[in-house]
Each structure stands twice: as structure tokens, then as C-alpha cells.
Amino acid sequence: MATRWGICGAGNISHDFSFIVAVAARSLESAEKFAKTHGIPKAYGSYQELVKDPNIDVLYIGVLHTHHLQVGLLFLNAGKNVLCEKPFAMNLREVRQLVSAARENNVFLMEAVWSRCFPVYAEVGRLLSESAVGQVKMVKVYFGLPLLDRERATQKEQGGGALMDIGIYCLQFALMVFKGERPESIHATGVLLPSGTVNITIALVTVHIHCAKCIYLRWFLARKGLFFFSFFVMLMPFDVAHPMHCPTVLELNGKKTEFPLPEPGLPLNFHNSTGLRYEAEEVRRCLLKGLKESIKMSLTDSELLIEIMDEARRQVGVVYEQDSQ
């Protein structure tokens, strides 16, 4: 049986999503235009109408992340399964509200960090679990995009800033490699933009007996993730790139393996967006098994991710309106 999706929001990211039976936007005109483009049978002019549709198995939230808490609670408290676009919410307090609502209503909830569902990430996880590349000593993650001309990425009232927009990909990548291990210390530096958002660098340090591990993250630079492993007496690069947040190529010890994506049916707004099907397939897998969260991007993962982001923002002085509510 097909998984019946409802889409909340008619923006660019929702355009690249698929498998839809209904869409809702803040205006009926926007919803109807979106529905016509994608051949969706139902269009609603409010999220309240969408949540009442009994023929929807799961809702994808693709609105601006400043609205994730309000819309997420609306759907979760109505007993709807939810896939919510990243970042889950504006801070740890809001994320915990969403997680609590999902558990109280016994419904599925997942943060749409689509990277976690790409085949390349699955292969990296396999190599790590089998210790096929030695012990992880360091993770360096670089990711940059020219977004300073986009209000969504820079304006504080829209939840802008490098950390919330693309820095989250760097953090989740490092946390995946270290299997969700909590860092013992977080050191963040950044340059505030005129809007009050930030370009930022973070170092996460975890110390074990006779072993130190450092995660060094920086964005608005290149677009790749680089592992360093101890391997006999040398360091071996392990490259996930092209680009790292939606990779289709894995390079190990100079050998490249490609994981090509399906061709899109319509022009895309974002690079490699046909990869969104991987997170949709993961949600379907979980729903068919009766699971309430995914092991690929667990709710615990999401809480730790936003907790680190909150601390990084605190250190560099980025405060959103939602932090004082």
C-alpha cells in the first residue's frame, strides 16, 4: 500500500518533495498552484484544514523553521505522523516540546536531515561499524554556499545564519561518525552579520583514556566532509563529497564509488533533490514496522544536535526571539 503524504508549505523545498495526496499553504491560491504543478488531488488554504484530512498517513513540514514548533504541535497533537524539515525547531526547548507531543500522542516523528538517509551515509556507517578503516581520530567538515543575498539565510527574524541553515549538516555528520557521542567541550567563534546572525566555526572535543578526538567544523568554505583515521602507521583520507550534505560519491583510499540519483521528473530548486526520496522511503519503512522514530535520525540525535547549536549560538552571541519565550 502506498504511503499517503500531506505537504505543509508550498515553498521551494516542498516543490522538490513528492508522493503527495494533499497540500496546504497559508493561502488557497498558493496551495492550488502547487497542487496543479505536481498533480496533487487536494489543496487547502490553511494547515487546520489539512490536519483534518483522514486520508493522510504522514505530513511533511516544509515551512520556515521559525514556524516548525507551532505547525508541528498542531499536527502531532491531532495524532498525525510527521517528518519535519531541518532544523527541527529554533532551540532545544522547542525541540523537546515536539518530541514530547509525539510521544504523548504515540505518533511517528523525524527531523528531515536527509543526508542521514543517503546510500553513501549507509556505506560510511557500515565501514565504521566493521572497523574497516581503523579508529577515528579526527573529523573535519567543510561546507559553504554563497547565501548572503538570501533573506531566509541571513535575517534573524527568519531564523537565518550559517549555523541554522547549513552548519547543521556539518554537525550531524560529525555526530554520526562518533555515533551520537556527547562532546565534553564546545568552542565556537564567529563573525556576526549586520542582521545579528553569524558565520561560525565550532570545535567539539571528546577526550578518552589515551585517546583524544577533535571534531573541527567550519562553513561558508568548501563543500566536503573529510575523515582522518589511524590506519597502520599512516593517516588515510576518507572523502564524502559532491557535496557532503547530499553526497553521491564516496572515496576511500583513492578509490571512488558512485551512488547515482534518479533523474528528476521536474526541474529542481535544490541540488540533488531527488535524494529526498531516501528520507521518504525511511519514513515509510518506519511506519510499516510501527516504529515511532528512525534509527537513522533518532529523536535523541535531534536533541543533541540542537543542544550543541544552542551552546554555539550562546558563545558567539546570537539570540533569536524564540530564546526568550
Q: Selecting from 3.40.50.2300, 3.40.50.1000, 3.30.1300.10, 3.40.50.720, what CATH number does the domain 5-114 have? A: 3.40.50.720
Domain boundaries, the chain: 5-114, 116-269+295-323
pLDDT at 39: 77
Successive 10-residue mean pLDDT values, the chain, 325 residues: 76 56 78 79 85 90 92 96 96 98 98 92 86 74 70 75 82 87 84 64 45 41 45 35 68 80 69 82 95 97 95 87 86
Q: Which DSSP letter does residue 76 get?
A: H
Can you spell out the DSSP letters for 109-144?
A: EEEE-GGGGSHHHHHHHHHHHTTTT-EEEEEEEEE-
pLDDT at 242: 45
Q: Are the CB atoms for 82 and 99 separated by under 8 Å?
A: no
pLDDT at 216: 43
Range list of β-strands (E), the chain: 5-8, 20-24, 42-44, 58-61, 81-85, 109-112, 135-143, 185-192, 198-208, 211-219, 223-231, 234-241, 249-252, 255-258
Q: Are the CB atoms for 20 and 40 separated by under 8 Å?
A: yes
Tell the CATH topology of 116-269+295-323.
Answer: Dihydrodipicolinate Reductase; domain 2 (3.30.360)
pLDDT at 58: 93
**pTM for the whole structure:** 0.84
| Domains 5-114 and 116-269+295-323 equal at CATH topology level | no
